[in-house]
Chains A and B, each alone.
Chain A
Amino acid sequence: MNSAINVLTWVMYFIGLYFSVFWMYALFERYNIFSAEHKSSASRKPKRFPMVSVIIPAYNAASTIRDCLTSVIRIDYPREMLEIIVVNDGSTDKTLSVVSEIMGSNSGMRIKLMSQNNLGKGAALNNAIRECKGEFFACLDSDSFVEPEILQRMLFVFEEGSPDVAIVTPAMKVYRPRTLIQKFQRVEYLIALLFNRLLSHFDALYVAPGPFSLYRTDVVRKLGGFDERNLTEDQEIGYRMQKFNYRLKHCFDGYVYTVSPETIGQLFRQRSRWWTGSLLNFLKYKSLLLNPKYGHFGIFQLPFIMIGYLTVFLVVFFFFYFTILPWFDRFYEFYLVGFDWKTLASSFRLSFDVLRYDLGRMFILLTLLGFGLATFFLAHRSAREGVFKHGFLYLPLYFLFYYVLLAFIYVIAAVQLLVGRRNNKWLGKSI
């Protein structure tokens, strides 16, 4: 092995170990708190019922808006205190007629329909925030569906927290995973839920997911609303809240289900936007990095995010170096000997020499794998999901393949960003 790569791998092992140990340490330190929270889940209800607006930006969402809107209508909350605003973001399909039909058949609900040219999600949210009457507002992507108890559980988090809690994020799960890619994302989302729970304890959350994050309206208005030119406006608002010392909290039992990408192509489009947006937001708020004024978020979380950006390049490099290259070499050697497999097979001897394996590296990698598996099981437990609910054959592929696939997507997104081929579709056609 090349000396530079040798050193690089050892450095990566240490960094990987440090962050993995941190998360495991934090998890076990809070294990009792999490268990107590689970036990008291049924009694986690707010004492008062403030006015809440649910804003649903919709762009060509005819296939999902009915179920989305219906799930909001079924939310367990006093009807007079719930306002629903659908913002039609210049849809060219039947979104408008589907929404009108639901409005007609639910005249008892306070549902408002707004229309705008296709300006993007950020602009749609800002238009609705200007009009909404809620003390709190929830943003809900039109391809997501909520559980009836979600609002009360999230309001409870506002109540139990301090007044500087400005955003409560939901527990987001993948809606009816069918394809392999969706099953991968299901596990990924469950692990993210566990991490969000921890980040919430460290006041280091920095993303308010599109599906049903709940905001304190006056704070968002005071900070100028959403950044309409941002690829990941739900993350940008999170960073801004951190910058202005507001808290983001996570509601572990407020479940929302979102339709996730079904194919690699769809996943690529979604994740390249997320990664590019995330990187741009990181750069926008780089002044927070290692800044003790921002506590754990500045000192630990932002460096962790930064290392994550660098790691994707290393993952792709290591994948080629340690996996693809040896296979290529074997194939080339096979070519050099005229693909004479008979001679090679006849001289093949099965032998085992333990010293050919670097047991030190294996020890570290197995430790990391152990942490990964512990996280995997605890994430399912925390989200009250069965480990093998959707089979188990996809799980080895998830551990071996999924994160490499994501790393490839991120590297391509980085290249596209560098050559100026960024996908701005998210921002709307009118921008």
Chain B
Amino acid sequence: MARQIYMRTYLAVGVISLLIFSLGFLLSAQIDNERITRVEKATQLQELNYKSLQFQQLYLNTLTNNTESCPVFELSLQSSINTLTDSLERMEAYKASANFNRDEFGELSRNYVLDNLRYWLFAKRTKELCSLDFATVLYFYSDSNCGICPDQGVVLSYYKKLFGDRLLVFPINSDIEGTEASVSMLKKRYNVTVYPTIIVGEARYEGVVSRTELLPVICGSFAEPPNECLSVSNDEAN
């Protein structure tokens, strides 16, 4: 029998498939761009928040000699840190599902590390200035060299949910160390050599600190431990 090859059909189908595929592909690329834009906007907002906090601190230091403005300042700080945390979480989700421009997310990550460091310093200073009772955790991790780091992230997120504004967690992605000297400085100060490492107050803990191990550490850094410290301890005992 004479065998037929349907070249015109194959080509027509190829063109239609390419059209549909291109639509999907371009839509994906556009979504990636929109994500970058949104994260950049969030970064601008953080910058504004930071400037506002700087002003408030200056005001506190210069125009008042007591702590009457501390509650307002604390509220602003908490709000800014929460915005930063949400924004960082969103950026990590965007980065995880990014199709194309992962490098740009890398640059944005650097920005977030810097923001976290700034806020961490701010929080430390404010804690002293206003005698506030919150715990700070500096969390060093690596995306590229640490398979167990996400475990620590999960435990820290859990405690953040449990303690709310009483616990401030500042994640530092150490992968940007090569381009960001401040990370190196901080690592040197706390002698961070492995990941994950967490700094609670001024104490250093290497490796994954489990939920049960971390609870007394966090609770110990409060002047007055919140009720959650007691309730979780009781749950553990039961």
Which residues of A approach B to under 8 Å, CB–CB? 1, 3, 6, 10, 13-14, 17-18, 21-22, 25-26, 29, 162, 164, 202-203, 245-247, 292-300, 333, 336-338, 340, 343-344, 346-347, 353, 355-361, 363-364, 367
Asked if B122 is at the interface of the complex by the 8 Å CB criterion, the answer is no
15 further interface pairs, Cβ-Cβ under 8 Å (given A298-B3, A359-B27): A10-B99, A17-B21, A18-B14, A21-B17, A22-B13, A25-B13, A202-B6, A203-B4, A245-B3, A294-B3, A295-B4, A356-B97, A357-B31, A363-B23, A364-B24
- Residue from A246, A300, A336, A347 whose CB has the most chain B CB atoms within 10 Å: A336
Cβ-defined contact, B28 with A359, below 8 A: yes
A355 B38 Cβ-Cβ under 8 A? yes
B206 beta carbon closer than 8 Å to chain A: no
**What's the nearest-Cβ distance from chain B to residue A237, in Å?**
17
Cβ A360 vs Cβ B14 within 8 A: no
B143 to chain A, nearest CB (A): 12
Q: List 5 interface pairs A-B (beta carbons < 8 Å), by A numbering.
A: A10-B99, A14-B17, A202-B4, A293-B3, A363-B27
Specify which chain B residues have a CB less than 8 angstroms from the CB of A164 in the assembled complex: 1
Residues of B near any A CB (own CB < 8 A): 1, 3-6, 9-10, 12-14, 16-17, 20-21, 23-31, 34-35, 38, 90, 93-94, 96-97, 99, 102, 151, 154-155, 158, 161-162, 210-212, 232, 235-236
Q: Which residue of B is nearest A337, CB measured?
A: B158
Q: Using a Cβ cutoff of 8 Å, how many contacts connect chains A and B? A: 120
Q: Given the interface contacts A1-B96, A336-B211, A337-B155, does A299 sit within 8 Å of B5 by beta carbon?
A: yes
- Give chain A's interface secondary structure class: helix
| Nearest CB of A to B169, in Å | 14
CB distance from B33 to the nearest CB of A (A): 10
How far, in angstroms, from A326 to B12 measured CA to CA in the complex?
39
Given the known inter-chain contacts A203-B3, A247-B1, A347-B161, please indicate yes or no for A358 contacting B9, CB distance below 8 A. Answer: no
* Given A300-B10, A353-B90, A359-B31, A367-B20 contact (CB < 8 Å): yes
Q: Which single residue of chain B is at the shortest CB-CB distance from A15?
A: B17
Contact B31 A295 (CB under 8 A): no
Q: Is the CB of B24 within 8 A of A13?
A: yes
Nearest CB on B from A346, distance (A) = 8
With both chains docked as a complex, state the minimum distance between the C-beta of A18 and any C-beta of chain B, in angstroms: 4
Could you tell me if B13 and A360 are in contact, using CB atoms closer than 8 angstroms? no
Please determine whether B93 and A356 come into contact, CB atoms closer than 8 angstroms.
Answer: yes
Contact present for B154 and A360 (CB under 8 Å): no
Give the shortest distance, in Å, between B146 (CB) and chain A (any CB): 15
Among B3, B4, B30, B96, chain A packs the most CB atoms within 10 A around the CB of B3
Residues of A within 8 A of B12 (CB): 25
B35 / chain A contacts, CB cutoff of 8 Å: 355
| Shortest distance between the CB of B134 and any CB in chain A (Å) | 17
Pick the residue among B5, B24, B99 that contacts A295 (CB under 8 A): B5
In angstroms, Cα B21 to Cα A296, docked, is: 24
**Closest CB pairs A-B (n = 3):** A295-B3, A360-B28, A360-B27
Distance in Å: Cβ of A294 to nearest Cβ of chain B? 6
Q: Which of A26, A357, A363, A367 has the most CB of B within 10 A?
A: A363
A202 vs B35: C-alpha distance when bound (angstroms) = 46
Instruction: Using CB atoms, name the residue of chain B closest to A291.
Output: B3
Given contacts A26-B9, A338-B212, contact A358 B28 (CB under 8 A): yes
Assess A343 versus B25: contact at CB under 8 Å? Given A1-B96, A164-B1, A246-B1. Answer: no
In the assembled complex, which residues on chain B have CB atoms less than 8 Å from the CB atom of A300?
Answer: 6, 10
Instruction: Judge whether A25 and B96 touch: CB under 8 Å.
Output: no
Chain B residues whose CB sits within 8 angstroms of the CB of A202 once the complex forms: 4, 6
Q: Most chain-A CB neighbours within 10 Å: which of B23, B24, B30, B90?
A: B24
Choose among B13, B35, B90 the residue with the greatest number of A CB atoms under 10 Å from its CB: B13
A21 to B17, CA, bound (A): 6
Residue of A nearest to B9 (CB): A25
With a cutoff of 8 Å between Cβ atoms, the chain A residues found around residue B14 in the complex are 18
User: In this complex, what residue of B is CB-closest to A348?
Assistant: B161
- Residue in A1, A297, A361 with the greatest tally of chain B CB atoms within 10 Å: A361
Q: How far is the CA of A336 from the CA of B20 in the complex (A)?
A: 43
Residue numbers in A under 8 Å from B23 (CB-CB): 360, 363
A358-B97, A360-B25, A361-B28 known; A337 vs B3 contact (CB < 8 Å) = no
Nearest Cβ distance between residue B97 and chain A, in whole angstroms?
6
Residue of A nearest to B23 (CB): A363
Closest to A338 in B: B211
- State how many angstroms separate the Cβ of A205 from the closest Cβ of chain B: 13
Least CB separation from A20: chain B residue? B17
Give the shortest distance, in Å, between B221 (CB) and chain A (any CB): 19
Please give, as numbers and ranges, the residues of chain A lying within 8 Å of B94 by CB-CB distance.
355-356
